[in-house]
Amino acid sequence: MTKELKGIAASDGVATAKAYLLVQPDLSFSKSTIDDAQKEIDRLHTALDQSNSELETIRAKAAESLGEEEAQVFDAHMMILADPEFTGAIETQIKDDSVNAESALKSVSDGFITTFEAMTDNPYMQERAADIRDVSTRVLAHLLGRSLPNPALIDSEVIVVAHDLTPSDTAQLNKKFVKAFVTDIGGRTAHSAIMARSLEIPAVVGTDEVTKDVTNGQTLTVNGLTGEVTIDPSADQIAASEKAAKDYAAQKAEWAQLKTAKTITADGKHFELGANIGTPKDLDGVLANGAEAIGLYRTEFLYMDSSELPSEEDQFQAYKQVLEAMNPKPVVVRTMDIGGDKKLPYLPLPAEDNPFLGYRAIRISLDRQDIFRTQLRALIRASAFGNLRIMFPMIGTINEFKAAKKIFLEEKDKLVQEGVKVSDNIQTGMMMEIPAAAVLADQFAKVADFFSIGTNDLIQYTMAADRGNERVSYLYQPYNPSILRLVKHIIDSAHKEGKWAGMCGEAAGDPIMVPILMGMGLDEFSMSATSVLRVRSQMKHLSAEYMQTLAERAVTESTTNEDNEKLVAEFTAEDK
Ligand SMILES: C=C(OP(=O)(O)O)C(=O)O
Ligand SMILES: [Mg+2]
């Protein structure tokens, strides 16, 4: 029966396809005493064999669609299945304790996991703990006759349906087959949504219940522009969805004509439109969409894609590739922002009640200077190959900025002493995403070379509303005058000191925010590469001078987010 759901529009585009549920099955079981140990051992071996052949298939598919490097994780899993220390311990426990295979498997793997996780100074062994957890879940599923979903096995066009997707789940989605995704939870600025936009996969998040309503193979239509999802659509609804997809494609083709144009407003003012990237692989999208800069390179994905801390050389190669491809256009590289929803398996951090308010980003870098200095050296060496700007994330105090800058200068001096060629024109700036820093922007503007406003975090911290929690998404208000006053103060403070201010949070590409930011004189707008041409087209039709009046009224007269939505509609209605 047809059912309609409404979620948060998280990535533009429209799709119709069959649902693929990426949901963990129920793997609960009870411990039981058995008489026939050999029978349990045989069951165990059948499950081990089934797991092995499944892993062989997954490995082959992953190598084909995602590359050899991504596929290698499955080799480690197959090695565990073949390790007599692991399988032998399970057999012994079945025999000695007369227990069923499920409980012997669980107790043996828990034992290994606890031992390996305790080796806090050995990241390699800690990672093995994660592998054992994965493998034992797979074997357990086979023992219980359940099947685990696996994104690598998708080989026909589908719409992925999940409770939530982590950034690493999203990275595994193969754009060729995954036409869209829909989740129960999440927000527009969660990192999986940001990645969906750079992969150009339409997405609707925060539907609350999609995993309960949909079964595998049911047809879905997904509209990532409006947040609408239809389960089992009628023929008319499918036709309407196909028309919406066609209209969107036509709209994109029109925007594409602006690819080589500069971003000039109706009254002749130029704004710089940059793109946000997560890895050098995103460069294709940046170039295809005619971005004038990279306003945010989120380097934490380099750490997340690796199975250990990336070496100085590996980082150098990645940064050099991006700088060379963009040269002479500027590239703002942000130092590692791990924490919050971005985790590293080989750098286990203690569980925190409030990870977004916890040990993350510059707080880790200043504490783990070994990691920070390696990254800075790689960046400074790469500076000889393009127009590098370094940015520190999550700066809350002047002392944090000064400490980070001091370490940067020390590493730069060392490299110069070593005779390494480096640029002598590297700007060092900061993310403006913590309200305490935004309020003191006038003071920060004396020490930082530039600001880039991170609205994704600035809004969540100012409104006290988790950016990934759909239940409080009504409070996630980019146009609330409180946010706009902070944004204006940041821009004005930068300008007073002769510095520039950009924005790399998702609001920079928001069609309602763009006119206000133009009026405030924001210098650089950085967004998902796929939004660049839409914003260039929008700016072409607006007068920057007229938008100054809009911006002024938005911070002085309006009292709510909705007031400002109306105000923007008024000011942009006549293409002023
Ligand atoms: C751009 C930002 O950084 P991230 O989304 O990576 O937290 C932000 O907070 O706005
Ligand atoms: Mg942030």
Residue 20 has pLDDT above 80, yes or no: yes
Pocket-forming residues, ligand 1, beta carbon under 6 Å:
296, 298, 337, 433, 454-457, 504-505
Q: Answer whether residue 524 shows pLDDT above 50.
A: yes
C-alpha distance across the termini of the chain, in Å = 47
Which atom of ligand 1 is nearest to 457's Cα? 9
Q: Which ligand has an atom closest to residue 395 CA?
A: 2
Closest ligand 1 atom to Cα of 433? 9
Give me the half-sphere count of Cα atoms (radius 13 Å) on the Cβ side of residue 68: 0
Q: Under 8 Å CB-to-CB from 18, ≥6 apart: which residues?
A: 156, 157, 158, 159, 217, 218, 219, 220
Mean pLDDT of the chain: 93
Ligand 1 centroid – CA 492 distance (Å): 21
Chain mean position to CA 277: 10
Smallest CA separation from ligand 1 atom 3, residue:
454
Delineate the domains of the chain, giving CATH numbers in brackets: 3-23+150-248 (3.50.30.10), 37-143 (1.10.274.10), 257-572 (3.20.20.60)
pLDDT for the residue numbered 244: 97
Contact predicate 245/15, CB 8 Å: yes
Please give the residue that has the higher pLDDT: either 245 or 73. 245
Q: What pLDDT, on the 0 to 100 scale, is given for residue 122?
A: 72
Higher-confidence position of 305 and 433: 433
Question: What are 91's two structure tokens?
Answer: 């057999």
What 8-state DSSP symbol labels residue 270?
Answer: B
Output the DSSP codes for 107-176: HHHHHHHHHHHT-TT-HHHHHHHHHHHHHHHHHHHHHTT-----GGG--S-EEEEES---HHHHHH--TT
Q: Which ligand is nearest to the CA of 455?
A: 1
Residue closest via CA to ligand 1's atom 2 equals: 454
Separation of CA 456 and ligand 2 centre (Å): 6
pLDDT tens, 188-209?
887 778 888 888 899 999 999 9
Q: What distance in angstroms lies between residue 459's CA and the mean position of ligand 2's atoms?
A: 10
Instruction: Give the residue, out of 192, 338, 457, with the most ligand 1 atoms within 8 A of its beta carbon, to mutate for a pocket test.
Output: 457
Question: Is there a contact between 222 and 15 (Cβ–Cβ < 8 Å)?
Answer: yes
The residue with greater pLDDT, 8 or 66, is 8
Residue identifier of the C-alpha nearest atom 6 of ligand 1:
298
Q: What is the ipTM of this complex?
A: 0.99
Q: Tens digit of pLDDT for each residue in 406-462?
A: 999 999 999 999 999 999 999 999 999 999 999 999 999 999 999 999 999 999 999
> Which residues lie closer than 8 Å to 51 by C-beta, 6 or more apart?
81, 135, 138, 139, 142
Supply φ then ψ for residue 141, to 5 degrees: -60, -45
Ligand nearest to the CA of 526: 1
High-pLDDT (> 90) share of the chain, %: 78
Give the residue among 227, 223, 257, 259 at the shortest CA–CA distance from 240.
223
For residue 213, count other CB atoms closer than 10 A to its CB. Answer: 18
Asked if pLDDT for residue 175 goes beyond 90, the answer is no
Residue 236 burial by CB count (10 A; 0-12/13-18/19+): exposed, middle or buried? exposed
Lowest mean pLDDT among 15-24, 65-74, 409-418: 65-74
Give strand ranges (E) for 354-493: 387-392, 427-432, 450-453
Task: Name the closest-CA residue to atom 5, ligand 1.
Answer: 456
- Helix 561-572 and helix 513-520: axis angle, to 10°? 80
Atom of ligand 1 minimally distant from the CA of 296: 1
Q: Average pLDDT, stretch 518-527?
A: 98
> Can you tell me which atom of ligand 1 is nearest the CA of 298?
6
Alpha carbon of 288 to ligand 2 centroid (Å): 26
Counting ligand 1 atoms within 8 A of each CB, the residue from 192, 294, 298, 343 with the most, and so the one to mutate, is: 298
Considering only the C-alpha atoms of the chain, give the largest distance between any 2 of them, rounded to a whole number of Å. 86
Q: Contacts from 54-61 at CB under 8 Å and sequence distance 24+?
A: 54/138, 54/142, 55/81, 55/138, 57/153, 58/150, 58/152, 58/153, 61/152, 61/153, 61/155
According to the model, what pLDDT value does residue 154 have? 86
Long-range contacts of 217-220 (CB under 8 A, 24+ apart): 217/18, 217/19, 218/18, 218/19, 219/16, 219/17, 219/18, 219/19, 220/16, 220/17, 220/18, 220/19, 220/159, 220/161, 220/180, 220/182
Q: Which of 352, 371, 241 is nearest to 299 (CA)?
A: 371
**Residue 129: band (very low, low, confident or very high) from pLDDT cuts 50, 70, 90:** confident
What is the Cα gyration radius of the chain? 26
Distance between Cα 448 and ligand 1 center (Å): 18
Catalytic site residue 504? yes
C-alpha of residue 477 to centroid of ligand 1, in Å: 15
Nearest-CA residue for ligand 1 atom 8 is 454
In Å, how far are 89, 90, 137, 193 from 83, measured between CA atoms?
Answer: 10, 11, 16, 39
pTM for this model (two decimals): 0.81
Could you please report the per-residue DSSP string of 2-69?
A: -EEEE-EEEE--EEEEEEEE--PPP------B-S-HHHHHHHHHHHHHHHHHHHHHHHHHHHHHH-HH
Q: Which residue has the tokens 């007269």?
A: 557
Q: How far is the CA of 329 from the centre of ligand 1 (A)?
A: 22
What's the 393 CA to ligand 2 centre distance in angstroms? 7
| Atom 10 in ligand 1: residue holding the nearest Cα | 454
pLDDT at residue 575 tops 70: no
CA of 191 to the centre of ligand 2 (A): 10
Which tokens belong to 231? 């389960």
- CA proximity to 279, closest of 309, 295, 300: 300
Which ligand places an atom closest to the C-alpha of 334? 1
User: Residue 97: how many CB atoms within 10 A of its CB?
Assistant: 15
Of ligand 1's listed atoms, the one at least distance from the Cα of 455 is 10
DSSP H/E element including 230: strand 228-231
Q: Is the pLDDT of residue 117 over 90?
A: no
Residue 271's φ and ψ, nearest 5 degrees, are: -120, 150
Alpha-carbon torsion (149, 150, 151, 157), positive or negative:
negative
- 424 phi/psi in degrees, rounded to 5: -100, 20
Instruction: Give buried/exposed letters for 130-144 (b at 16+ CB in 10 A, else e).
Output: bbbebbbebbbbbbe
Best probe residue, ligand 1, of 170, 277, 279, 431 (max atoms within 8 Å of C-beta): 431
- d(Cα 402, Cα 445) in Å, to the nearest integer? 12
| Structure-block tokens of residue 439 | 């309020």
Nearest listed ligand to the Cα of residue 452 = 1
DSSP state of 530: G
For residue 340, give every residue at least 6 positions away whose Cβ sits within 8 Å of its Cβ, in sequence order, or none. 355, 356, 360
Mean pLDDT, to the nearest integer, of 202-222? Answer: 95
Q: What is the pLDDT of residue 151?
A: 79
Ion ligand 2 residue ranges (Cβ < 5 Å)? 433, 454, 457
The single residue listed with the structure tokens 């040269």 is 327
The active-site residue, picked from 142, 191, 270, 541, is 191
- CA contacts within 13 A on the Cβ side of 538: 22
The pair of three-digit structure tokens given for residue 401, joined into one six-digit string: 């900025």
Length of the chain: 576
Is residue 290 left, alpha or beta, with left meaning phi > 0 and alpha meaning psi from -120 to 50? left
Active site residue 191: yes
- Is the pLDDT at 576 greater than 50? The verdict is no
The residue contributing the CA closest to ligand 1 atom 4 is: 456
CB 530 within 8 Å of CB 252: no
Query: Residue 83: pLDDT above 80?
Result: yes
Mean pLDDT, rounded, for 336-352:
85
